Amino acid sequence: MTVKLRAFVVGLGQVAWRFDEEPGRETIWTHVGAYKALSDRYEICGAYDPQAEARNAFTSRHPEVPVGDDFAALLAGSKIEVISICTPAESHDAALGAALDLAVPPKVVWCEKPLSASLARGQEMVSACEAAGTQLTVSHTRRWSPLWRRFKERLDSGELGTLRSLRIAMPNRLWSIGSHAIDLLLWLGGDVSAIEALALPGLEEEGEPAVSAILAFTSGAAGYLQVTGLKSGLIVEAEAIGDKGRLGLLEDQNKILFEPFQSCARFQGY
């Protein structure tokens, strides 16, 4: 008999559970949805949100989950093993700190991205989890996507030869969407030796900055974070160029394309 892990959810907005309520949604997009889909392994033992409307809406759909307005008391009484932090980025560290201060810290913290808007604070959060023996997982979900994993496998296979440039293109909103692009650049391109960022005020939306960037990878390759436009124009793609050709990923088509270089009939040496 499998012993279920006890999970607690902080923040009851879209990524916690409401995305899965949208009409036409065919796959699980939320923390609660994931726990429910794996109900043989997980039990949601509690949830918290400071807003009464959010708590009431959640309870109407999930009446079996204890919900309250006293975060510390609810958390301490839940004996959690896994905690999902689904609040805005500026409150991630407070929720994490409360969890790690428990007499028995959780085994896993599953935190929404970005971990923090502050590099120093994010590093402190990582160190705190390491000291507590708690695994910290940030929800950069494309690392788990079969499409993106295939793209990385092909990059790592040497099919392109030496990588010369890597471009990740996504819409604006640095925290909501750009954090995915940054994570993909680091995951696919490796360590970075230098970076130059460019703020794009004309593409700011929903209170989040829009930022493009050029990166220098320690491998010698160049990286590009391309902001494609506003939220409504959802373009997500990647392009890697190596000595043997170009590898492209089109997320909306679930497709990877390879174009090998061929000798040019018009220009000698190209």
**Which pLDDT does position 24 carry in this prediction?**
86
Judge whether residue 107 has pLDDT over 70: yes
Judge whether residue 53 has pLDDT over 90: yes
Compute the mean pLDDT over every residue in the chain, rounded to the nearest whole number. 95
pLDDT digits (tens, 9 = 90+) for 152-199: 999 999 999 999 999 999 999 999 999 999 999 999 999 999 999 999
**Which pLDDT does position 154 carry in this prediction?**
97
pTM value is 0.89
Judge whether residue 2 has pLDDT over 80: no
**Which pLDDT does position 264 carry in this prediction?**
87
- Residue 135's φ and ψ, nearest 5 degrees, are -75, 130
pLDDT digits (tens, 9 = 90+) for 9-31: 999 999 999 999 999 888 899 99
Q: How far apart are CA 208 and CA 171, in angstroms?
A: 12
The confidence band for 268, taking pLDDT boundaries of 50, 70 and 90, is confident
Pairing status of strand 237-242 against strand 245-250 = antiparallel
Judge whether residue 115 has pLDDT over 90: yes
pLDDT digits (tens, 9 = 90+) for 82-94: 999 999 999 999 9
Judge whether residue 223 has pLDDT over 70: yes
Pairing status of strand 5-10 against strand 82-85 = parallel
The confidence band for 137, taking pLDDT boundaries of 50, 70 and 90, is very high
**Which pLDDT does position 1 carry in this prediction?**
60
Judge whether residue 119 has pLDDT over 80: yes
Judge whether residue 266 has pLDDT over 80: yes
**Which pLDDT does position 5 carry in this prediction?**
95
**Which pLDDT does position 78 carry in this prediction?**
84
The confidence band for 265, taking pLDDT boundaries of 50, 70 and 90, is confident
Q: HEC profile for the chain?
A: CCCCEEEEEECCCCCCCHHHHCCCCCCCCCHHHHHHHCCCCEEEEEEECCCHHHHHHHHHHCCCCCEECCHHHHHHCCCCCEEEECCCHHHHHHHHHHHHCCCCCCCEEEECCCCCCCHHHHHHHHHHHHHHCCEEEECCHHHHCHHHHHHHHHHHCCCCCCEEEEEEEECCCHHHHHHHHHHHHHHHHCCEEEEEEEECHHHCECCECCEEEEEEECCCCEEEEEECCCCCCCCCEEEEEECCEEEEEEHHHCEEEEEECCCCCCCCCC
The radius of gyration of the chain from alpha carbons, rounded to an integer in Å, stands at 21
| Residue percentage of the chain with pLDDT more than 70 | 100
**Which pLDDT does position 113 carry in this prediction?**
95
